[in-house]
Chains A and B, each alone.
Chain A
């Protein structure tokens, strides 16, 4: 009997970011455990993402167009009902929902999974893995399997990262997901068959999921990243704030941190490289635009593009001596950080805000420090600069090893 695994991500549509690369990573990671692997990404994923096969591009795009409007132009044609570009589809969807209470994107998701199950004759030996589960993926697959007997279900693992769970027509997807899963876990307990399992990226969110679904959940951290292809560090200590700049990622705190650092430690020789915000979206906001122009004028600051390819990101990591993550602890209370995990994988120490979902990893892997304020960030940056290089490198080596061990330990439990 051939065991098939479907690694699915409906949101893998952008040529950058972690969605498409996540599908590729987990397809390879589980390659030895299954006979056939079927990665599934959005059908509009640009061809430039050459590590994903054309056959894998089949999923509909069921989310807001804000994220993709720069790469897929909107279409107002009445003949175009594509989920990626049609403006009319999104317009009528709202009215249909108001009139009948039906979200047509849910129907599209269910239909997609029914077709997939039928085409591949999916049976109980097969499995589905969602590395960053979204609302429509959960409701689509559970809806498509609903009429099957539980024992005939394939194994399903939803890994939640607290990003796309809410993204439905009312922005209350998380509540609906946990209700669905709650009902399902009850059914699993009654029939004593375990088919669906869940996990999350950070401990705090895992606890919340367990509480809300009434089931068990495990922690599945971000996969280990390869070391940078080359070392581009020079004699100037480079502090990097990577990942698309956003307010919740502390982008608008950075100038204060930099100014405080140079004010308190004028003798320090350091350079800051910062990934920018989406500049076109802030030009109407005078304060934010002024902030960027002031960052441009600040000495020892280099501003990078808002979006970067994996190669560019790899290059920036290869320049960095330290990564800072001054994220908002309220918004990130239950979220992980791919940049943190990349930094661990690439052996770069990290400073992050106290109280974020991912902050515990820094204590656990001991590859940096947590900071409570901008002053604290400035002090800790100086502390890292003055730390013995060999000692720092040893800590980063140990953190990478710990992460690998931790990762293998938890991911082995996914299909248990």
Chain B
């Protein structure tokens, strides 16, 4: 049995399984996983009883402070969509922890804050996916997770502008209480739109996606972008908003197209198949690279040193908190609740 590791992730990841690929790499270690949400940060009473050798905070970067203060070697895996907007002092509070970044932009930001950071680019194994075909016209797929960011009208009316033969709209939203923006029956008939709601099994969703060949990214920014990577693996042409991590995987007009979702323009889809095939090729190359990088990433994580208590227990965190209080009250609230 290896090290005793505490892994903290978001409750939602138990459904999306987006951290599974990472956890699989640590299956030889004695790893306890805690998937929590915003209403439940009070996990430290349980954690303190266990003598963990290492803590890994996936997405919850601000929880790192609590582990560092308990003198536990800590690894933070921040996500671009959640952490890029945090104030500068947030990154200072992570001194003493090691950071693994799946986004180059966050990596550069951490480097600027002189943190001990490593950048890795994840690609799934494309052999697990079949190449979609382009013989039956151009069929779009959009998972309308956040209609405020990307919605079906942007996709069919502005971006594809009549070039799509069909659009499948998956309507399960991130915030199930919000009101969705759905096409009317007339619009569905006019644009040839089919819809689906939440699938209990991922295989059902995959079957729908496999029938499409044009992928529209559902959000403006991503932490890793699993949906995009799966679409690239299938050889779909990917049309994504120009923000990380999309623009770290899609080279504009080479293996997909970048656009501004808030300012959509018509995108020529005549080279869709070529770009889709190139995207799949990129995943083959990227996956090879990812597999090669796994040992160094694991080594970087498992060799995390104990934090320097002088930095952690000094007045710096309090000073940062005081400063941030006047800038971002929500952020401070999160920290003071630990």
Contacts and interface: CB of A to CB of B under 8 A. Distances in A.
Chains A and B bind each other: yes
A279 B289 CA distance: 21
B252 A280 contact: no
Interface in B16-56: none
A296 interface: yes
B112 A280 contact: yes
B255 interface: yes
Contacts of B105: 283, 289, 293
Contact of B278 (A280, A296, A299): A299
Interface in B238-261: 242, 244, 247-252, 254-255
B248 A297 contact: yes
A299 B285 contact: yes
Interface in A177-196: none
A296 B254 contact: no
Interface size class of A (residues with CB under 8 A): 20 to 34
Contact of A283 (B109, B114, B252): B109
Interface in A350-378: none
Nearest to B119: A279
Interface residues of B, number: 24
A298 interface: yes
Interface string B109-123: 101101000000100
A293 B258 CA distance: 12
Contacts of B285: 299-300
B111 A296 contact: no
B112 A283 contact: yes
Nearest to B256: A297
A49 interface: no
A280 B111 CA distance: 5
Given A290-B247, A299-B282, A279 B252 contact: no
B281 interface: yes
Given A280-B112, A283-B112, A297 B249 contact: yes
Given A290-B247, A296-B248, A299-B281, A279 B254 contact: no
Given A279-B104, A296-B104, 18 more contacts: A262-B254, A279-B107, A280-B108, A281-B112, A282-B108, A283-B108, A283-B109, A283-B112, A284-B112, A290-B242, A290-B247, A293-B244, A293-B247, A293-B248, A297-B251, A297-B254, A299-B251, A299-B282
Interface of B: 104-105, 107-109, 111-112, 114, 121, 242, 244, 247-252, 254-255, 278, 281-282, 285, 289
